[in-house]
Amino acid sequence: MGEYIPHTPEDIRHMLEAIGVSDIQDLFTDITEELRHEGPTTGLPSRDEAWVRNYVQRMADSSTGTELVPFLGGGLYDHYSPSVVGHILSRGELFTAYTPYQAELSQGTLTWMFEFQTMICELTGMDVANSSMYDGATALAEAVLCAHRATKGTTVLVPRALSPWVRAVVDTYCWGAGIKVKEVPYGEDGRMQVDDIPEGTCGLIAAQPNYFGCIEDLRGLKEQLGKALFIVSVNPVALAVLEAPGKFGADIVVGEGQPLGIPFGFGGPLLGLFAAREEHLRRMPGRVSGRTVDAEGNEGYVMALQTREQHIRREKATSNICTNSALCALAATVYLAAQGPEGLRDVALASMERAHELAKRLEDLPGYSLAFGGPYFNEFILRCPDAEGTARKLEQAGIAVLPPSALEPTGVEGAIGVALTERRTDEELDLFVSVLEGGN
């Protein structure tokens, strides 16, 4: 009996007697003998808590990447998460609950989900939002499946300036569903160049900002699409200062919610955002909280529109998603509530300001230049005389950037990616510049 299992030998005897068997083994006789596993499984002994803590702590200590200052973005950003976020997440009533199937015992979860949906709609300019997907990549992939179901089109147009990590997931989902992926190239300004929309297109994806940090011009795209859906994948922090995609006719807005107070966590768990126009509501995947009344007419919340979901609709469901990323959505809710409109704008502006400040200083160095001429938010691509060498030197000086290998899949050679947030200090910027000044 370990610390997590409360059965004493006396309890066990009592329970066995009530069941009418004499031994625990009698409860496993339905597993035929040939399948019964005797002997070690993992080969591990039982350990005490302090041992496990030390063992795992040592593992954490050997990940030296956290000693580097992260000028590393590519879709995940080092924004500061106020202490209040972590503390609220630690409330056991919230984080040890499951999906709010039983609404009367889940008003806490359902209320914050409703708040989250409202905030995401406000940021994106959409009519409806769900309560989360796994991450931005799968959210985008599911948006494509949604467009495929809505239009019957079998080709999706994907910008080349999309994160290769995200793109890989979209490719896998599309292959599974029999959807062709066609690339939309980018121009010298780093922004997408949409020429024609082929017959049978189910959707066009735009990333705002894109993988190069560039701010896309979303005007007029929806109008070219006919019945195909316009899908925009966003950085939610940027939406404090960038026009909501809804204003440009977006049908579905997805995004990676990690910048909203969620740690890197070596890439997971993350937070998938998914919002849409009203007309796509019944095609939308995932869980949604809705406001209703109780038997006495008091306001309350329930899981709404469950008839879209797998546990009711089975193979005809809008998606197979069940468990999502609720706790990360709660983090984002608390983060957005803590920042408020002006706080979020300050985070966005300070991040953008820092990026532009550094970019300007680096551009003045001989041999270094911005790869693209277009407007950018908090991230830019820096061409270097020796990109590999630059990344290495920066790392030796204690700075992490997006290495050349992470840009090559998008057709960019000889460059590194540099991202900044409000957390980057003057001293850190000075250090960055001095490393590059130190010769090539």
Partner 1 sequence: MATIYDRGAPGRRAASTPSPKRGADELMALIPEDARRDKLPHLPQVSQPELVRHYTALSRLNYGVDSGFYPLGSCTMKYNPKLNEDLARLPGFAGLHPGLSAERSQGALRALWELGEMLKRIAGMPAITLQPAAGAHGELTGMLLLKKYFQERGEYPARHKVLLPDSAHGTNPASAAMVGFKVVSLPSTSRGTVDLEALNKALDNEVAGIMLTVPNTLGIFEDEIAEITRLVHTAGGLTYFDGANLNSFLGRALPGEMGADIFHFNLHKTFSTPHGGGGPGAGPLAVSDTLAPYLPLPDVVLEGEEYRLSWDRSQSIGRVHPYHGNFLVSLRALAYILLLGDEGLKEVSAGAVLAANYLRAKLEKVFQLPYAGLCKHEFVLSGQGLGDVRTVDIAKRLMDYGFHPPTVYFPLIVKEALMVEPTETEPLEILDAFVEAMIRIADEAREQPDTVKQAPHTTPVRRLNEAQAARQPVLRLP
Choice from 343, 385, 409, 414 touching partner 1 (CB under 8 A): 343
Q: x/- binding map, residues 258-297, to partner 1, per CB under 8 A?
A: -----xxxxxxxx----------x-----xxxxxxxxxx-
C-alpha distance from residue 233 to each of 28, 38, 39, 178, 337 (Å): 50, 51, 51, 22, 22
42 lies in the site for partner 1, by CB under 8 A:
yes
Convert 372-406 to b/e letters by CB count within 10 Å (16 or more is b): bebebbbbbbbbbeebeebbebbeeeebbbbbbeb
DSSP code for 133:
B
Site for partner 1 in 50-79 (CB under 8 A): 52-53, 55-66, 68, 70, 72, 74-76, 78
Q: Are 143 and 174 within 8 A, CB to CB?
A: no
7 lies in the site for partner 1, by CB under 8 A:
yes
Q: What is the DSSP string of 366-384?
A: TT-EES--S-BSSEEEEE-
Q: Which is nearer to partner 1, 367 or 392 (CB)?
A: 392
Task: Give the span between the Cα atoms of 295 and 290, in whole angstroms.
Answer: 16
Given the structure tokens 């809804």, which residue do they identify?
246
Using the contact rule CB under 8 A, the part of the chain among 30-38, 193-201, 379-387, 427-435 near partner 1 is: 30-38
DSSP code for 243:
P
Q: Which is nearer to partner 1, 306 or 369 (CB)?
A: 306
Site for partner 1 in 103-162 (CB under 8 A): 103-109, 111-112, 114-115, 117-119, 121-123, 127-129, 131-132, 134-138, 145
Smallest distance from partner 1 to CB 390, Å: 15
Smallest distance from partner 1 to CB 393, Å: 14
Smallest distance from partner 1 to CB 163, Å: 7
Q: Which is nearer to partner 1, 293 or 439 (CB)?
A: 293
List the beta strands (DSSP E) in 323-407: 369-370, 379-383, 399-401
Q: Are 237 and 351 within 8 A, CB to CB?
A: yes
Task: Give the span between the Cα atoms of 358 and 427, in whole angstroms.
Answer: 11
193 lies in the site for partner 1, by CB under 8 A:
no
Smallest distance from partner 1 to CB 137, Å: 4
Choice from 188, 223, 279, 353 touching partner 1 (CB under 8 A): 353
Site for partner 1 in 301-340 (CB under 8 A): 301-302, 304-307, 309-317, 319-328, 330, 333-340
Task: Give the span between the Cα atoms of 352 and 341, in whole angstroms.
Answer: 17
Choice from 22, 152, 172, 364 touching partner 1 (CB under 8 A): 172
Choice from 202, 205, 218, 384 touching partner 1 (CB under 8 A): 218
Site for partner 1 in 380-419 (CB under 8 A): 395, 400, 402-403, 406
- Greatest pairwise CA separation for the chain in angstroms: 84
DSSP code for 295:
T
Task: Give the span between the Cα atoms of 259 and 270, in whole angstroms.
Answer: 9
Choice from 150, 206, 234, 244 touching partner 1 (CB under 8 A): 244
At residue 391, what are phi and psi to the nearest 5 degrees?
-60, -40
